[in-house]
Amino acid sequence: MITPNTTTKHYTSAPFRAAEFFAGIGLVRSALEPEGIEVVFANDIEPVKHAMYSENFDASHFVLGDVRKVRGADIPNIDLATASFPCTDLSLAGNRAGLDGGGSGMFWEFARVLEEMRARRPSAVLLENVVGFATSRGGDDLEAAIRRLNGLGYRCDVFVADARWFVPQSRPRMFIVGSRDALTVQDEWGASTLRPAWISTFIEAHPDRVMQALPLQAPPPSRKTLTTCVQKMSPSDTRWWAGARRARFIESLSPLQTKRLAGLAKGRKLAWATAYRRTRHGHPVWEIRADAISGCLRTARGGSSKQAVVEAGRGKVRVRWMTATEYARLQGAPAFKLDGVRENAAMFGFGDAVCVPVVNWIARTYLRPLLEGRFTKATKRRRMRAANGKSSNTNNRAFDHPVPQNGGA
In this prediction, residue 346 carries a pLDDT of: 94
- For the chain, give the number of residues: 409
Packing angle of the helix pair 140-151, 107-117 (nearest 10 deg):
10
Instruction: Give the number of other CB atoms < 10 A from CB of residue 279.
Output: 10
Instruction: Give the pLDDT of the chain (409 residues) as one tens digit per residue.
Output: 333 333 344 554 558 999 999 999 999 999 999 999 999 999 999 999 999 999 999 999 999 999 999 999 999 999 999 998 766 656 555 555 566 555 566 888 999 999 999 999 999 999 998 888 787 667 688 999 999 999 999 999 999 999 999 999 999 999 999 999 999 988 888 778 899 988 999 999 999 999 999 999 999 889 999 999 999 999 999 999 999 999 999 999 999 999 999 999 999 999 999 999 988 888 889 999 999 999 999 876 544 468 999 999 999 999 999 999 999 999 999 999 998 899 999 999 999 899 999 999 999 999 999 999 999 976 444 444 444 445 544 433 334 333 333 333 3
**Cβ partners under 8 Å of residue 79, min gap 6:** 16, 17, 18, 37, 122, 123, 124, 371, 391, 392, 393
Q: Is 230 exposed, middle or buried (0-12, 13-18, 19+ CB in 10 A)?
A: buried
Sheet (strand 16-21) strand order: 62-64, 37-44, 16-21, 80-83, 124-130, 172-179, 155-162
Each residue's pLDDT tens digit, 286-309: 999 999 999 999 876 544 468 999
Q: How far is CA 199 from CA 34, 175, 254, 270, in A?
A: 30, 12, 37, 42
In this prediction, residue 135 carries a pLDDT of: 76
Identify the three-state secondary structure at position 172: strand
- Listed by start position, the domains of the chain span 16-222+351-408, 232-322
The second-level CATH assignment, the architecture, of 16-222+351-408 is: 3-Layer(aba) Sandwich (3.40)
Each residue's pLDDT tens digit, 227-246: 999 999 999 999 999 999 99
In this prediction, residue 80 carries a pLDDT of: 98
In this prediction, residue 370 carries a pLDDT of: 96
